[in-house]
Chain A
Amino acid sequence: MSDAVLNPSVESLPAAAPVAAQASIAQIFLEFLIIGATSFGGVVPYLRGSLVTKRGWINDKEFVEMLSISRSLPGLNATNMAILVGEKLRGALGSIAAIIGICLPGAVLMYVVGIFYRIHGDHVWITAALKGVAAAAVGLILSTVVSMSKKSLTGKFDFVFIALTVIAVNRLHLGVPRTLVAVGLLAILFHRPRKQQKESGAQ
Chain B
Amino acid sequence: MNQIPALIRVFAYLSTLTVGGGMAAFPELKILTVEVHNWLTFPQLIHIYSVGQMYPGPNMMMIVVIGQWAGGFLGALAVLIAFFGPTAVLAFIVALGWKKLEKWPWRTSIQEGLAPVSIGLLLAGCFTMAKGAIFGVETAAIAVGVLLILLHYKINPALLVLGGAVIGVLSFMPK
Q: Which residues of A contact B (CB under 8 A)?
A: 1-2, 4, 35-43, 68-80, 83-84, 87-88, 92, 95, 99, 102-103, 105-107, 109-111, 113-115, 117-118, 121, 124-125, 127-149, 152-154, 158-159, 161-166, 169-170, 175-177, 179-180, 183-184, 187-193
Chain B contacts of A129 at CB under 8 A?
165-166, 168-169
List residues of chain B with CB under 8 Å of any chain A CB. 15-25, 27-28, 44, 46-62, 64-65, 68-69, 76, 80, 84, 87-88, 90-92, 94-96, 98, 105-106, 108-130, 132-134, 138-140, 142-147, 150-151, 154, 156-169, 171-174
Assuming A37-B57, A133-B54, is B113 touching A184 (CB within 8 A)?
A: yes
CA distance A121 to B46 in the complex (A): 13
Cβ-defined contact, B51 with A190, below 8 A: no
In the complex the two chains form, what is the Cα distance from A80 to B21 in whole Å?
11
Whole-angstrom distance from the CB of A8 to the nearest CB of chain B? 15
The residue among B91, B111, B138, B147 with the most chain A CB atoms within 10 A of its own CB is B91
Bound complex: CA A183 to CA B123 (Å): 15
Given A41-B157, A83-B91; 15 other pairs, CB 8 A cutoff: A75-B88, A76-B21, A76-B87, A103-B84, A107-B61, A111-B64, A128-B173, A134-B46, A134-B132, A135-B146, A136-B161, A161-B113, A176-B24, A188-B106, A189-B109
Residue of A nearest to B90 (CB): A73
Q: A106-B56, A139-B150, A193-B108 are in contact. Are A148 and B122 (CB under 8 A)?
A: yes
Q: What number of residue pairs across chains A and B have CB atoms under 8 A from each other?
A: 378
> Chain B's nearest CB lies how many Å from the CB of A38?
6
What residues of A have a CB within 8 angstroms of the CB of B64 in the complex? 107, 110-111, 114
Give Cα A128 to B140, complex, Å. Answer: 15
Q: How far apart are the CA atoms of A110 and B65 in the complex, in Å?
A: 6
Pick from B49, B51, B134, B147: contact of A143, CB below 8 A. B147
Most buried by B among A80, A88, A114, A137: A137
- Considering the complex, give the chain B residue whose CB is closest to the CB of A144: B122
A40-B158, A153-B116 known; A136-B146 Cβ under 8 A: yes
Set of chain B residues within 8 Å of A137, measured between Cβ atoms: 46, 49-50, 53, 129, 133, 161, 164
Closest A residue to B76 by CB, please name it: A111
Q: Which residues of B contact A73 (CB under 8 A)?
A: 19, 87, 90-91, 94
- Nearest CB of A to B64, in Å: 4
Choose one: B87, B117, B134, B161; the contact of A75 (CB below 8 Å): B87
Which residues of the other chain, B, contact A176 by a CB distance below 8 angstroms? 17, 24-25, 27-28, 121, 124
Are A43 and B57 CB-contacts (below 8 A) given A77-B21, A117-B48, A140-B146?
yes
